[in-house]
Homo-oligomer: A and B are copies of this chain.
């Protein structure tokens, strides 16, 4: 089982904090956006005497409410095509466990969300990466790369859209290409759309918008980022494929039920005012613009402009971003502050790729982002001069 590249530096950041250094966390997708008060209040005012198990598929009332939400984003599903999961994480795990056998292969454009690897290991599945590159802003790799990677054991393609870690927003043309591949080879399309509501350039094309591949599409969703409710651990596994739903229900029953509290919160979230996402999206866009501008202004740094999510990938003038990110925590500080980044190597499956890249989650306000960028700028200078003497 691989260690999470996002979390493996945690002990170093804990040590830095113990030394009195403030750490700007750009390493993890934990937004500082306040969870809407209305939905926190829904939990506060929930009236029950026993904190019971819910239905293994989640509360029926919540699933029915989610149908309304999906309708608003052009996704037409019924409540019995939704299984509430413990975070998006469990939806991904369920998909891999239910749709694939040990030894099967899945294709994922890299760099990709590192925990796909972990869940693949748990399911005994082999990840076959096809590489997207920072030079093209991480666009979908050409169709030939998919064709080359497909073997008789290939069962699914995983697509995170908008993408974590790259922030890339796949166009409807790219989605149509994927559809053709999926149809031709009879594959599942695992669509991780955790960041659906955060698109700054262009519109979101859900895998569920594609026609004629109802049995192939598995939507893996979560409320974590949508409503800044990561700790709730509520997601959803959505598909029109009845056989897959039946199998996933067995996994859902084995773990009994998803958490009850945050289902209340998720249900209330569907009733948030229509402009809720406008406000949060404007805030994230401002942060994106800030961080991308600051990064590209640093000598030797390149950061393509991400179209969605709240991540940016940047190429840094360092040999080994893993070492640099650890050094930021254990050897560097500027005005008693430092910054925690996620080394990109952990997001690539192909060994040796991404060694000079990092992922930055712009989950802090622009003041904090500017302070973090001040740290990074100083750090890169200091790191370069330090290297000369090694």
Q: Which residues of A contact B (CB under 8 A)?
A: 1-4, 6-8, 10, 28, 30-35, 40, 43-45, 49-56, 86-87, 89-90, 93, 97-98, 102, 115, 118-119, 122, 124, 228-233, 247, 249-251, 253-262, 265
Known: A87-B255, A232-B259. 20 other contacts (CB 8 A): A1-B97, A2-B250, A4-B56, A7-B56, A7-B253, A35-B50, A43-B44, A44-B44, A51-B232, A51-B262, A53-B230, A54-B231, A86-B259, A89-B254, A115-B253, A115-B256, A118-B254, A122-B251, A124-B124, A259-B262
Contact: B250 with A118, CB < 8 Å?
yes
Contact: A52 with B40, CB < 8 Å?
no
Instruction: Rank and list the top 5 A-B pairs by shortest CB-CB distance, nearest first.
Output: A231-B260, A118-B254, A4-B253, A261-B261, A259-B259
Residues of B within 8 A of A87 (CB): 255-256
CB closest residue in chain B, given A254: B118
Contact: A124 with B97, CB < 8 Å?
no
CB closest residue in chain B, given A116: B254
Contact: B32 with A50, CB < 8 Å?
yes
Please tell me how many copies of the chain the complex holds.
2
Residues of B within 8 A of A7 (CB): 56, 253
Residues of B within 8 A of A30 (CB): 52-53
Contact: A250 with B50, CB < 8 Å?
no
Centre residue among A40, A44, A253, A262 by max chain B CB count within 10 A: A253
CA A258 to CA B258, docked complex, whole Å: 11
Contact: B254 with A122, CB < 8 Å?
yes
CB closest residue in chain B, given A29: B53
Contact: A51 with B259, CB < 8 Å?
no
Contact: B102 with A230, CB < 8 Å?
no
Centre residue among A6, A40, A115, A255 by max chain B CB count within 10 A: A255
Known: A89-B256, A262-B261. Is A51-B228 also a contact (CB below 8 A)?
yes
CA A258 to CA B265, docked complex, whole Å: 16
Q: A122: which of B97, B118, B261 is its contact (CB, 8 Å)?
A: B97
Contact: B3 with A51, CB < 8 Å?
no
Centre residue among A4, A251, A256 by max chain B CB count within 10 A: A256
Residues of B within 8 A of A44 (CB): 43-45
Centre residue among A1, A55, A115, A258 by max chain B CB count within 10 A: A1
Contact: B93 with A230, CB < 8 Å?
no
Contact: B51 with A40, CB < 8 Å?
yes
CA A218 to CA B236, docked complex, whole Å: 31
CB closest residue in chain B, given A60: B14
Residues of B within 8 A of A40 (CB): 51
Q: A230: which of B43, B90, B228, B256 is its contact (CB, 8 Å)?
A: B256
Contact: B257 with A231, CB < 8 Å?
yes
Contact: A254 with B124, CB < 8 Å?
no
CA A51 to CA B38, docked complex, whole Å: 13
CB closest residue in chain B, given A121: B254
CA A3 to CA B115, docked complex, whole Å: 27
CA A261 to CA B43, docked complex, whole Å: 9
CB closest residue in chain B, given A117: B254
Centre residue among A28, A118, A233 by max chain B CB count within 10 A: A233
Contact: B53 with A254, CB < 8 Å?
no
Known: A49-B35, A51-B230, A53-B230. Is A251-B118 also a contact (CB below 8 A)?
yes
Residues of B within 8 A of A255 (CB): 86-87, 89-90, 93, 115
Known: A32-B50, A34-B50, A35-B51. Is A232-B251 also a contact (CB below 8 A)?
no
Centre residue among A3, A51, A87 by max chain B CB count within 10 A: A51
Residues of B within 8 A of A90 (CB): 255
CA A3 to CA B246, docked complex, whole Å: 9
CA A30 to CA B8, docked complex, whole Å: 37
